[in-house]
Structure 1
């Protein structure tokens, strides 16, 4: 599948990675569990963007991990409704997970 077919997912992955990086930085010191899962999520989203941009044959495997990690990050960030950065991160993670699930359903791994 050409990389152009992944554009909406690629955009969601990059946005998620950006919001996760911001949230992780804001949570350092005060909320270490949130910072850790946000860092993990950012890393897998940046990696998935790379896999998708080159149309890798391993996209289905990466997407499976992305769904799990994005959902975990959103769940963690949703624990902090008074922190706007956590809420933005959770929203970006939920959106990315929804986009990844589209790939998963096409690949037959959902």
Structure 2
């Protein structure tokens, strides 16, 4: 079953989406929200694609490799953006996204 084969990826995707959602929410609380706009945007994109890929894997989608390629690219972009900021939530998000990007590349 694809779910068992990709169990570690599913956990990584879930953890990345959670980190992105936390970062998204925390960025909205920052004093200069406008400065965080790109971070917020990419947090949303990344959380959404990670959740979608997680669901696609669990339903044995024939497009897992293609989705993983897109997910890896989005996770990489989010990691890059979050790493530009000194906030703890951004640093943790960047780490989760970098880990997820690598996991997705291994599947793609």
Are 1:40 and 2:45 matched, yes or no? yes
Q: Structure 2 residue aligned with 1:52, among 51, 54, 57?
A: 57
Aligned position for 2:88: 84
TM-score normalised by L of structure 2: 0.91
Aligned position for 1:74: 79
Aligned position for 1:107: none
Q: How many angstroms does 1:32 deviate by? A: 1.2
Aligned position for 1:108: none
Q: How many angstroms does 1:2 deviate by? A: 2.1
Secondary structure at the aligned position of 2:55 is classed as helix
**Counterparts of 2:67 and 2:74, CA distance in 1:** 11
**Counterparts of 2:21 and 2:76, CA distance in 1:** 16
Q: How many angstroms does 1:62 deviate by? A: 0.6
When the two chains are superposed, the root-mean-square deviation of aligned CA atoms in Å is 1.1
Q: Which 5+ residue runs of structure 1 have no aligned equivalent?
A: 105-110
Are 1:18 and 2:18 matched, yes or no? yes
Tell me the matched-pair count.
Answer: 103
Q: Which 5+ residue runs of structure 2 have no aligned equivalent?
A: none
Aligned position for 1:99: 103
What stretches of structure 1 move > 6 A for 4+ residues in a row? Answer: none
**Counterparts of 1:13 and 1:2, CA distance in 2:** 15
